[in-house]
């Protein structure tokens, strides 16, 4: 397990793995049989309509909620069976940014950010000051340390929450809806911070969000929860080029598709909405975005984001298991990176003559690739409930 110290990085963030986990509250099943590997040191994003259990998933990963079935591994530790003492130690690997920053209203930003250091370390006050000021600087809040949470904007509160999430040098950073309550510009600023922090400390990120812009431009990997199942999890190119109706609908924010106002739609409602759209009624969203928009990069001057190299090596190995469109997008990206050593060039050249390597013929069962140790395996999705 790697360790990240204040200024010196000596390892990569920790891998997070779930094996067939299911969670219910009483008779309400939230999700079932969720198996995925979150690659260490990369930025992963979980999307899904409201109420699909994204926050419950995050809370399960740090042991705040316990799935009734399955196992969760943080590095090598199975947190579903480990002792409370071990769980306490494992939690120190995490930095968590909750939706509202979860700051103490009566403490100024300095004391809020210092809180975990005073609780969990024996650092002197002068060392605490050094760390707190460094983290406040990292999130652009130098000068605001004396303010109370009630005196600053929502965006600043989130950044203060992020500074607090960073003070114990986490190896895994969980972020719950970073965009909630933020305008699109501030959301992009905080997204830039995630990429910069990832470049600096190589921590594993899992962000939960329904923000389409963020999904398209920030993560290395994307997963989607829908109808109590993990529909897919894989490199960004897999979801961003997917023809899966629920994924396309979600990423374009349209009414047409399986997602309804309440969690799901029946066939009759889908047919009625399609008929309205065919008759010219605007189904919402923007025009379908086809293909991949460039991924954001770390701010110039930041260290090179090593997650890019690791992900490329990983994706190269399993490329032949991916859908054709994802292969094309990945190859374009690999070529662009080779040419420019940047991760931002977009070229839509079609380098594959056909999708032979990916057998997509089984349209009825809608099998989709889910990343697992060593590659992708097909997992049934959108099972009719």
Ligand X SMILES: Nc1ncnc2c1ncn2[C@@H]1O[C@H](COP(=O)(O)OP(=O)(O)OP(=O)(O)O)[C@@H](O)[C@H]1O
25 sits near ligand X (criterion: CB under 6 A)? yes
- 50 is an interface residue for ligand X by CB under 6 A: yes
- Closest separation in Å from C-beta 23 to ligand X: 8
Contact 31, 80 (CB under 8 A): no
d(CA 210, CA 193): 18
CA distance 247 to 230: 12
Helices and strands of the chain, counted as H and E runs? 12, 12
Which of the stretches 1-9, 52-60, 142-150, 243-251 binds ligand X when contact is defined by CB under 6 A? 52-60
| CA atoms of 236 and 51, how far apart (whole Å) | 23
Query: Measured from the CB of residue 317, what is the shortest distance to ligand X in angstroms?
Result: 32
For residue 222, state whether it binds ligand X (rule: CB under 6 A).
no
Check if the beta carbon of residue 151 is closer than 8 Å to that of residue 143.
Answer: no
Please tell me the number of Cα atoms within 13 Å of 2 on its side-chain side.
Answer: 21
User: Which tokens belong to 19?
Assistant: 């094996």
- Between CA 220 and CA 365 the distance in angstroms is 27
| CB of 210 or CB of 227, closer to ligand X | 210
- Residue 112 in contact with residue 103, Cβ under 8 Å? yes
Q: Within positions 196 to 215, which residues make up the interface with ligand X, using CB under 6 A?
A: 210
DSSP secondary structure string for all residues of 154-166 = HHHHHHHHHHHHH
Task: Specify the residue, 28 or 84, whose C-beta has the smaller distance to ligand X.
Answer: 28
Helix, strand, coil percentages (3-state) for the chain, rounded to 5, are 35, 20, 45
Nearer to ligand X, 210 or 216 (CB): 210
In sequence order, what DSSP letters do the residues of 99-116 get, joined into one string?
Answer: TTTT--TTS-HHHHHHHH
Closer Cβ to ligand X, 44 or 52, answer by number:
52
Identify the residue among 15, 21, 30, 203 touching ligand X (CB under 6 A): 30
User: Does 68 engage in binding with ligand X (CB under 6 A)?
Assistant: no
- Residue from 13, 39, 41, 53 touching ligand X (CB under 6 A): that is 53
25 versus 352: smaller Cβ distance to ligand X:
25
CA angle, 112 then 165 then 198, to 5°: 145
Residue 55 binds to ligand X (criterion: CB under 6 A): yes
For ligand X, which is the closer residue by CB, 40 or 53?
53
Q: Is residue 51 a contact residue for ligand X (CB under 6 A)?
A: yes
Q: Which is nearer to ligand X, 53 or 170 (CB)?
A: 53
CB of 174 to ligand X, least distance (A): 12
What is the side-by-side strand order in the sheet with 94-97? 94-97, 172-176, 204-208, 43-47, 221-226, 229-235, 367-372, 375-380
Q: How far is the CB of 239 from ligand X (least distance, A)?
A: 17
Q: Which is nearer to ligand X, 30 or 172 (CB)?
A: 30
Q: Choose, by CB under 6 A, the member of 12, 41, 54, 206 that binds ligand X.
A: 54
Least distance CB 266 / ligand X (angstroms): 20
Stretch that binds ligand X, among 43-51, 160-168, 233-241, 265-273 (CB under 6 A): 43-51
What residue ranges bind ligand X (CB under 6 A)?
25, 30, 48, 50-56, 210
């Amino acid at each position: 397990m790697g360790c990240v110290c204040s200024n010196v990085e000596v390892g990569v963030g920790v891998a997070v793995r779930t094996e067939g986990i299911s969670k219910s509250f009483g008779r309400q099943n939230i999700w079932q049989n969720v198996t995925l590997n979150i690659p260490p040191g990369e930025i992963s994003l979980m999307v899904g309509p409201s109420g699909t259990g994204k926050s419950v998933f995050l809370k399960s990963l740090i042991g705040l909620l316990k799935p009734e079935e399955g196992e969760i591994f943080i590095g090598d530790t199975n947190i579903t069976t480990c002792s409370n003492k071990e769980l306490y130690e494992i939690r120190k690997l995490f930095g968590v940014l909750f939706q509202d920053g979860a700051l103490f209203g009566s403490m100024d930003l300095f004391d809020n950010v210092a809180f975990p250091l005073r609780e969990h370390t024996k650092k002197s006050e002068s060392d605490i000051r050094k760390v707190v000021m460094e983290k406040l600087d990292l999130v652009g809040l130098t000068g605001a340390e004396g303010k109370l949470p009630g005196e600053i904007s929502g965006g600043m509160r989130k950044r203060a929450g992020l500074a607090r999430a960073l003070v114990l040098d986490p190896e895994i950073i969980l972020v719950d809806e970073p965009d909630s309550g933020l305008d699109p510009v501030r959301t992009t600023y905080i997204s830039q911070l995630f990429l910069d922090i990832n470049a600096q400390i190589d921590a594993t990120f899992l962000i939960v969000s329904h923000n389409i812009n963020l999904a398209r431009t920030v993560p290395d990997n994307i997963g989607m929860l829908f109808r109590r199942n993990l529909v897919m999890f894989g490199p960004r190119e897999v979801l961003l080029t997917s023809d899966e109706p629920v994924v396309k609908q979600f990423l374009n924010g349209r009414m047409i598709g399986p997602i309804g106002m309440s969690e799901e739609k029946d066939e009759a409602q889908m047919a009625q909405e399609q008929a309205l759209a065919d008759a010219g009624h605007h189904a919402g969203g923007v025009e379908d975005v086809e293909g991949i928009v460039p991924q954001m990069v770390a701010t110039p001057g930041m260290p090179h984001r090593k997650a890019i190299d690791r992900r490329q090596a990983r994706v190269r190995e399993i490329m032949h298991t991916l859908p054709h469109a994802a292969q094309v997008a990945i190859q374009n990206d690999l070529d662009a990176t080779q040419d420019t050593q940047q991760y931002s060039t977009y070229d839509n050249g079609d380098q594959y003559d056909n999708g032979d390597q990916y057998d997509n013929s089984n349209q009825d069962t809608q099998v989709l690739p889910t990343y697992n140790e060593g590659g992708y395996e097909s997992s049934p999705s959108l099972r009719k409930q």
